Structure 1
Amino acid sequence: MSTLNPAAGSAGLSPGFADPVAQAQACFRAVLDAMARPGRVHTITGVAPPAPLDAATAAVLLTLVDHETPLWLDAALRETAPWLAFHCGAPVVTDPRAAAFAAARGLPDLDRFDAGTHEMPETAATIVVQVQALGVGPRFRLSGPGLREPAGFAVTGLPADFSARWAANHRLFPCGIDLILCAGDRLAALPRSVTIEEDG
């Protein structure tokens, strides 16, 4: 497994959470609720990461990633590897299939990541995707676990063929990739169990 050097450029790094325990707990609860209620948008506070990381992206990674969870970063976010490695202790890997978590600006190819197995679906990767906006833009209809009835969801910054790409991922269930979408200080989750269709 190839990794990036976490020590490189570690001097002068900006802080993580202002109140690590309380804010990590609050973010963890927000992520749990977002996974349980697909499409519901939560606001995250208390972190000011280096660009180009959004606050919500940084908070999710600070909360969920540690020395036991290999992290993959796309080219757009790779410059933040020293900050994430310093604050999370995570090994930053160059092979997407070796990653437990990934972060990217825009949706990467889901086929590049570990979707788990039927014996161990919980080993599938979770991808934190920075998008342009949540609550505005192209609309989708979500249905499945956690939703009593189909719910609308709008997001700006996903590819035009997202619904088709998601359908292929959803067909792998109980395997498949989970997504956490982040825009600024806001996040929403799309677990692999949810069905997503274009709405209008």
Structure 2
Amino acid sequence: MDQQSRNTVFAGGFSNPPVASAHAFRAAMNAMARPGQVQKIAGATPPEGISVAAGSLLLTLCDPETGVFLAPDVDSEALRGWLAFHTGAPIVAAELADFALGGWQQLQPLNRFRIGTAEYPDRSATLIVEMHRLDVPNAMLSGPGVKDTARMQVPELAALQANAALYPLGRDFFFTSGSQVAGLPRSTQVIAEA
């Protein structure tokens, strides 16, 4: 590992971990509690190619007990080292992942990620999907945490509708871009925007 890679691994964590992780955790929980509502999340400076929002989520939600899958578009020695140093989270296969990170196409097929079991529906994967932007809504949302309806940009309607149909099983999603995050829990119904 060269000096630049070494610096990337050790740098980029929360400058004030207790405060920054609390703010990031609140943003993540608000995103899931209010599907479609974009939240600001920051604090991390992950390796190049990963958004501040995705890096902040990883630092907040991952630890040595949570397996992380890195899709080919984001997987790098720098990111693996950064995650290991700051969270201790092991890199695992998609089928074993608690969290997965990558672009939508690179995370396919979704059916390789866990959906939980009848006894333990919470033993499912949460996917952190990197997006170019979050401000062009193409879907309507309804369900818990949504008053009437909400609008949201999603990468693919059919796959997210199929995921919601699995409820109470299914996967949960965070969509990230820059320092923004939006959540889509499995309990949310997704329909095409009229």
TM-score, normalised on structure 1? Answer: 0.88
Q: Where does residue 11 of structure 1 map in the other structure?
A: 6
What runs of 5+ residues in structure 1 fail to find an aligned partner?
A: 1-8
3-state SS in 2 of match to 1:85: helix
Of Structure 1 and Structure 2, which has the larger fraction of its residues in strand? 1
3-state SS in 1 of match to 2:134: strand
Distance 1:17 1:106 in 2: 27
Distance 1:26 1:18 in 2: 12
Q: Where does residue 6 of structure 1 map in the other structure?
A: none
Of Structure 1 and Structure 2, which has the larger fraction of its residues in helix? 2
Deviations 1:89-130 (A, max 9, x none): 00111x211111111122522201010011100101101110
3-state SS in 2 of match to 1:61: helix
Cα RMSD (Å) of the superposition? Answer: 1.4
Deviations 1:55-77 (A, max 9, x none): 00000000000000011000111
- Of the three residues 122, 143, 164, the one matched with 1:170 is 164
Percent of pairs identical after alignment? 39
| Structure 1 residue 116 corresponds to structure 2 residue 116 | yes
Distance 1:92 1:154 in 2: 29
Q: Where does residue 59 of structure 1 map in the other structure?
A: 56
Distance 1:182 1:55 in 2: 9
Give the residue type in structure 2 aligned to 1:97.
Answer: E
| Structure 1 residue 188 corresponds to structure 2 residue 182 | yes
Query: Following TM superposition, by how much is the alpha carbon of 1:182 offset from its aligned partner in structure 2, in angstroms?
Result: 0.3
TM-score, normalised on structure 2? Answer: 0.91
What runs of 5+ residues in structure 2 fail to find an aligned partner?
A: none
Give the residue type in structure 2 aligned to 1:11.
Answer: R
**Which stretches of structure 1, 4 residues or longer, exceed 4 Å deviation after superposition?**
none
3-state SS in 2 of match to 1:82: helix
3-state SS in 1 of match to 2:127: strand
- More off after superposition, 45-54 vs 62-71: 45-54
Q: Where does 1:85-124 land on structure 2 (aligned, <5 Å)?
A: 85-93=84-92, 95-107=93-105, 108=107, 109-124=109-124
Q: Where does 1:1-150 land on structure 2 (aligned, <5 Å)?
A: 11-12=6-7, 13=9, 14-79=11-76, 80-93=79-92, 95-107=93-105, 108=107, 109-136=109-136, 138-150=137-149
Give the residue type in structure 1 aligned to 2:51.
Answer: D
Give the residue type in structure 1 aligned to 2:130.
Answer: Q
- More off after superposition, 97-106 vs 178-187: 97-106
Matched length = 185
